[in-house]
């Protein structure tokens, strides 16, 4: 799309591109970049490529998707083909990461684009893609390379978020919200990110110093104890990947997060916000955990899709991440439901069903998957975040000696 046809000031895209390359990725001279995005995001993709080359990038390799092409598969694809995935493409990406290429994804698609497609076909294709992508994803979940995710205000996405506005106004509103959340509406975005990272690091360090054995979440409809993995490590904001490069994996981010123990989660929890998953809006999720595993699950809307999700594999009924986000976060205070995990997870405390992050464990060098599991790390083809925090959320940290320390009160940090 020609920049002049866009209903917002595109000059700010240059700031966003610089933040993505310099703060999100911290791209190193000579480093290649694997970049995936919707074709609609080309105005930002082009700017990111230019910023990357100015920073000394080796090769920027864009891989673009298109919503209509994606829909065409489910409209016209033959039965029996949905278990097929382009493993050759994912193998190439894994090889690039092995060669220290950085990874960037720019989200722009309408999260409900497949809402009218056969959910069984969508789920089958998603599972096949997840299985094929797992070797490449391991490089990311293990934080072996610097990577980041950012967003561009796609037009169909904007209409989903702001249905009462005309298309131009909706896209302009989404653009303003994305730019504010990404801190590029400031006079000096780089300085704003440095200050924010310092604040997140202080929260992260405080949690690591306490080394809690578990967290106890309470609210009007939640009573959940989340045991933490043996030797867990809290992360948040900027962090150093194993290739020695410090990056911000999410633009924006408001969370500090760690790896729970897959066998030590007990109690009942109800989602505080809807989850958009594979074209379905799942609302009112409520589950009960026993010995780490979901033993009862329901949802007020989209229940069939949610129940199918937790049957993906053995690890899909257990959690691989727990994250703390204050109710007073800028994204929460915006009051906007983005239908996109990159943003919605930064509006509330959340848990993620499925795969854990290996980099949220201490001293992992040389550890096998069996070793990770023995410390409590979960393994799965999925990693799906859903929000559980609210204005009345109370969280206690529980030490090994069973002492309780206030972590959250009234939905926000206790201090």
How far is the C-alpha of 310 from the C-alpha of 297, rounded, in Å? 9
| pLDDT of amino acid 289 | 98
pLDDT mean over 228-246: 96
Q: Does the pLDDT at position 12 exceed 60? A: yes
**Confidence bin at 144 (pLDDT 50/70/90):** very high
Question: Tens digits of per-residue pLDDT, 190-228?
Answer: 999 999 999 999 999 999 999 999 999 999 999 999 999
pTM listed for this prediction: 0.92
Q: Does the pLDDT at position 4 exceed 90? A: no
Q: Does the pLDDT at position 1 exceed 70? A: no
Question: Tens digits of per-residue pLDDT, 355-383?
Answer: 999 889 998 888 899 999 999 999 999 99
Q: Does the pLDDT at position 278 exceed 90? A: no
Least Cα distance to 287 among 256, 313, 316, 249 occurs for 316
Neighbours of 215 (CB within 10 A): 22
Q: Does the pLDDT at position 3 exceed 80? A: no
For residue 320, how many C-alpha atoms fall within 13 Å in the half-sphere facing its CB?
Answer: 25
What is the residue extent of each domain of the chain? Answer: 3-181, 210-236+249-413
| pLDDT of amino acid 364 | 82
* Phi/psi of residue 399, nearest 5 degrees: -80, 170
Q: Are 153 and 174 in contact (CB under 8 A)?
A: yes
How far is the C-alpha of 141 from the C-alpha of 398, rounded, in Å? 27
Sheet containing strand 147-151, strands side by side: 60-65, 33-38, 102-107, 147-151
Both tokens of 26, joined, read 């911290």
44 CB-contact burial (10 Å; exposed 0-12 / middle 13-18 / buried 19+)? buried
Q: Does the pLDDT at position 415 exceed 60? A: yes
Q: Does the pLDDT at position 35 exceed 80? A: yes
| pLDDT of amino acid 154 | 97
Distance from the Cα of residue 146 to its chain's centroid: 15
Question: Tens digits of per-residue pLDDT, 95-133?
Answer: 999 999 999 999 999 999 999 999 899 999 999 999 999
| pLDDT of amino acid 279 | 85
Among the four given CATH numbers 3.40.1830.10, 3.40.50.300, 2.40.10.10, 1.10.3720.10, the one describing domain 3-181: 3.40.1830.10
Q: Kind and range of the H or E element at 323?
A: strand 319-324
Least Cα distance to 138 among 306, 387, 377 occurs for 377
Q: Does the pLDDT at position 171 exceed 70? A: yes
| pLDDT of amino acid 2 | 65
């Amino acid at each position: 799309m020609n920049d002049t046809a866009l209903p917002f000031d595109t000059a700010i895209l240059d700031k966003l591109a610089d933040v993505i390359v310099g703060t999100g990725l911290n791209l190193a001279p000579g480093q290649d970049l694997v970049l995936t995005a919707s074709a609609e995001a080309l105005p930002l993709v082009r700017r990111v490529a230019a910023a990357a080359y100015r920073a000394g990038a080796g090769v920027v390799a864009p891989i673009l998707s298109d919503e209509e092409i994606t829909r065409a598969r489910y409209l016209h694809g033959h039965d029996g083909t949905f278990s097929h995935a382009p493993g050759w493409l994912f193998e190439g990406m894994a090889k690039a990461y092995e060669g220290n290429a950085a990874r960037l994804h720019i989200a722009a698609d309408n999260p409900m684009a497949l809402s009218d497609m056969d959910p069984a076909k969508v789920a089958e294709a998603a599972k096949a893609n997840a299985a094929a992508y797992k070797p490449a994803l391991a490089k990311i979940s293990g934080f072996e390379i610097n990577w980041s995710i950012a967003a561009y205000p796609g037009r169909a996405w904007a209409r989903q978020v702001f249905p009462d506005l005309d298309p131009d106004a909706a896209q302009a509103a989404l653009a303003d919200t994305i730019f504010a959340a990404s801190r590029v509406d400031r006079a000096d975005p780089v300085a704003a990110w440095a200050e924010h990272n310092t604040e997140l690091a202080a929260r992260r360090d405080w949690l690591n110093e306490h080394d809690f054995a578990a967290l106890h979440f309470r609210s009007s409809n939640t009573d959940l104890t989340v045991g933490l993995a043996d030797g867990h490590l809290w992360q948040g904001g900027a962090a150093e990947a194993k290739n020695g490069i410090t990056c911000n994996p999410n633009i924006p981010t408001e969370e500090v997060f760690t790896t729970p123990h897959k066998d030590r989660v007990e109690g009942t929890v109800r989602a505080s916000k809807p989850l958009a998953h594979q074209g379905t809006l799942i609302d009112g999720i409520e589950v009960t955990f026993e010995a780490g595993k979901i033993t009862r699950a329901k949802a007020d809307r989209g229940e069939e899709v949610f129940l199918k999700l937790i049957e993906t594999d053995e690890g899909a009924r257990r959690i691989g991440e727990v994250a703390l986000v204050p109710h007073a976060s800028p994204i929460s205070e915006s009051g906007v439901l983005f239908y996109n995990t990159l943003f919605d997870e930064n509006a509330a405390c959340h848990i993620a069903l499925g795969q854990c992050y290996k980099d949220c464990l201490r001293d992992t060098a040389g550890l096998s998957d069996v070793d990770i599991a023995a410390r409590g790390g979960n393994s799965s083809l999925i990693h799906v975040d859903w929000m559980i925090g609210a204005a009345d959320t109370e969280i206690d940290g529980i030490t090994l000696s069973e002492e309780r320390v206030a972590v959250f009160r009234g939905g926000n940090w206790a201090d």
